[in-house]
Structure 1
């Protein structure tokens, strides 16, 4: 009997990995990861994310090796090359079947379809699983059997299914006896903030457990960028070193099995939002081709290059927006409340196409995830599923005063303003700006808001 080839993708974990679990039950496993470097660039994914993936793979290899499973790390250019590389791996490692967990963007789905067709001709068995969502894809539908387009009813239906089908993450596969030798390692490492992000499945669970100790404060602290009030698990979820299923199960265990506490938890809602955006992608593949979810929404964007460049560089003259963008540029991560603030500022107040902001975020984020990033940008621009109404435009000044009242976050990321008092730091005067070399606002908020409402209504 031939070996079972497990192809790792966005599921870089040993536990709760359906493809790995099932392959190990069937025979001797050999694992492979193939980085499609040019394809990654075409998808605008950041160097920080690529670097974090590589280090995560090294941690994954250590865990797999303890189970007697080798992991070969290879590189190629495109998804087409990935298919050829996998065919070569099947021959080289004497495999009779391949196991992997599904990915849902269009290019990935097309690649997998082509792989299946090629391997069918070679009589190689292909086993595909769903390991990315907590509930099976397309399971949550309305009474007419159609997918939801609004989050709140989706969440209610999601909960009803979960009540009758409790989630139980898979355990680690059993240890096999094969010897580990000559593992291929083709280096594609990149720089990222190692001081902020420790790679690997163990680190992901340590961060989850640490967060759960204070999870009941999440609702009150999650919107305050100056405090560590969020889970910081998004990079680990993006590359699958922890699963949504594991997060939900751990939260339920934290509440000693009390489902009502689970369903009422604000962080739980955020995980279900992640599920919702993935289902939107599955049902609406056109959004992976730069199309708006809501085709009837007005798109009135203008070519405001000056504002876009200022936004990217964190010099818009609006302190909270600049602090947010500098956090992104310096760390590869941005606080979620600020992601909304920065997005609405760009596409509604500056009238810059949301697609440009979506792309820039992907180019910088260590947790860049197409479904969530696209969903967030389309929500903010009022083009997406359950999008904010066109007249919802977050005021940078009121958001700054509300969520960073003493200017602590601004002082940290915009140090030229650190000497200002707690009131001035949100909206420095002309004199204060000149004195410290901080730019004038790239837009007049009141007139920009008025123009946006006129154009979008």
Structure 2
């Protein structure tokens, strides 16, 4: 029986994995994952994310081994070496085909084209699939056949496509009649908050199931950082331990197949935002080269290292911003509402280039995902697809008062302020700051907002 090599990347799951599914239907399957360590560093991805990937791989291997499928875990430095290792494995295992699911950033695309070209010249069949999006890329276009630049019409069109072509997650492969043999294991583990983010596909599925019990409260609770109102599924989506297709399908099942309830759900909208940012990246590969989506947007950023350092350390003197940054630094994750607050504070109020914040988030987030992170930062800086208008600048004080009215979140993450009353905690007096050892604000909000509007308008 012919052997097929499945190359795992950002798709660390057995269920709903097109490459694995189709390989298993055409021959005996051998799997490999190759961590390009220095390449990942160049892409500024967090050690916490690497740790989650490694531990999830060990669990993925257990699931594959139950199907008599081996998984080799290997390391190298750069993408070019991945290509060489793939060629060696195919030769060593006497495989006649390679299967993998596509990735969309430019370096990954160039690598995959190179692999396809080199293996094709050797007579090896290369099979590529779309496992990262619920609807395949380029399915959602406007009436002129052009890509959407704004989310709401994209979502409406996405729904129309979904109505005519419902998505169904792919089942796991059948158990194969083969010996697993010895499996390569090259350790690249890293520390992360495993208490918050248990690794693996099963943990991801269980988290979605648990979240669906309260998904109807998501709209009202998702902006309140002191409560567990969000799904916290993003790290698993980022590494592919679960797919967006599975999430959408699970939500539809929760509503007993009633599509209108699915389409009206706020969590569904967030999953479609993820699809939108991926399509934007596919249509605009220059985004991976640090270019703005909107080339006409004003970029008036200044060199303000002092403000950037204070922001990174959670010492801006604005309690809600500092609480957000400390949550990021301590857990590798930040509440979505606070991501917008922190980004707009750094970019528009401190006038620090959005690229600096984008990079720091990628370096720190366990759910770091280029398309979503870049999309979010460009949205906040008014340079991106469907970006916030230049005059939209979130006030740290009003956001704090509105979404953490009792100061619960601030007390937890900025404990030096825990004894302040619910009014003072959002903006302590100079005396209160001195007593608590908490810094004065690094900017004057009103003056900074006025300056930003003058420069960006």
Hey, what does 1:112 align to over in structure 2? Answer: 112
- Corresponding residue SS for 1:347: helix
Correspondence list, 1:10-409, <5 A? 10-409=10-409
Hey, what does 2:450 align to over in structure 1? Answer: 450
Deviations 1:322-364 (A, max 9, x none): 0000000000000000000000000000000000000000000
Distance, in Å, in 1 between the alignment partners of 2:195 and 2:18 is 31
Distance, in Å, in 2 between the alignment partners of 1:375 and 1:311 is 20
| Larger displacement relative to structure 2 (373-382 or 176-185) | 176-185
The count of residues paired between Structure 1 and Structure 2 equals: 457
Deviations 1:357-407 (A, max 9, x none): 000000000000000000000000000000000000000000000000000
Hey, what does 2:413 align to over in structure 1? Answer: 413
- Corresponding residue SS for 1:228: coil
Distance, in Å, in 1 between the alignment partners of 2:455 and 2:349 is 11
- Corresponding residue SS for 1:107: helix
Hey, what does 2:438 align to over in structure 1? Answer: 438
TM-score, length basis structure 2: 1.00
Distance, in Å, in 1 between the alignment partners of 2:333 and 2:140 is 31
Deviations 1:142-180 (A, max 9, x none): 000000000000000000000111111000011101112
Distance, in Å, in 2 between the alignment partners of 1:398 and 1:89 is 57
Distance, in Å, in 2 between the alignment partners of 1:409 and 1:88 is 52
Distance, in Å, in 2 between the alignment partners of 1:116 and 1:268 is 35
Distance, in Å, in 2 between the alignment partners of 1:368 and 1:303 is 25
Which structure 2 segments of 5+ residues have no match?
A: none
Q: CA deviation at 1:121?
A: 1.2
Distance, in Å, in 2 between the alignment partners of 1:443 and 1:89 is 56
| Larger displacement relative to structure 2 (43-52 or 88-97) | 88-97
Distance, in Å, in 1 between the alignment partners of 2:130 and 2:92 is 27
Q: CA deviation at 1:181?
A: 2.1
Distance, in Å, in 2 between the alignment partners of 1:59 and 1:216 is 31
- Corresponding residue SS for 1:127: strand
Distance, in Å, in 1 between the alignment partners of 2:355 and 2:2 is 46
Deviations 1:157-215 (A, max 9, x none): 00000011111100001110111221000000000001101101100000000000000
Distance, in Å, in 2 between the alignment partners of 1:340 and 1:173 is 41
Distance, in Å, in 1 between the alignment partners of 2:153 and 2:428 is 43
TM-score, length basis structure 1: 1.00
- Corresponding residue SS for 1:441: coil
Distance, in Å, in 2 between the alignment partners of 1:166 and 1:270 is 18
Q: CA deviation at 1:2?
A: 3.1
Distance, in Å, in 2 between the alignment partners of 1:116 and 1:316 is 49
Distance, in Å, in 2 between the alignment partners of 1:92 and 1:230 is 46
Deviations 1:217-258 (A, max 9, x none): 000000000000000000000000100000000000000010
Q: CA deviation at 1:110?
A: 0.2
Hey, what does 1:5 align to over in structure 2? Answer: 5
Q: CA deviation at 1:92?
A: 1.4
Q: CA deviation at 1:5?
A: 0.1
Hey, what does 1:422 align to over in structure 2? Answer: 422
Which contiguous aligned blocks of 4+ residues in structure 1 show a shift greater than 2 angstroms? none
Q: CA deviation at 1:84?
A: 0.3
Distance, in Å, in 1 between the alignment partners of 2:15 and 2:173 is 8
Distance, in Å, in 2 between the alignment partners of 1:111 and 1:63 is 28
Distance, in Å, in 2 between the alignment partners of 1:190 and 1:440 is 36
Distance, in Å, in 2 between the alignment partners of 1:121 and 1:158 is 38
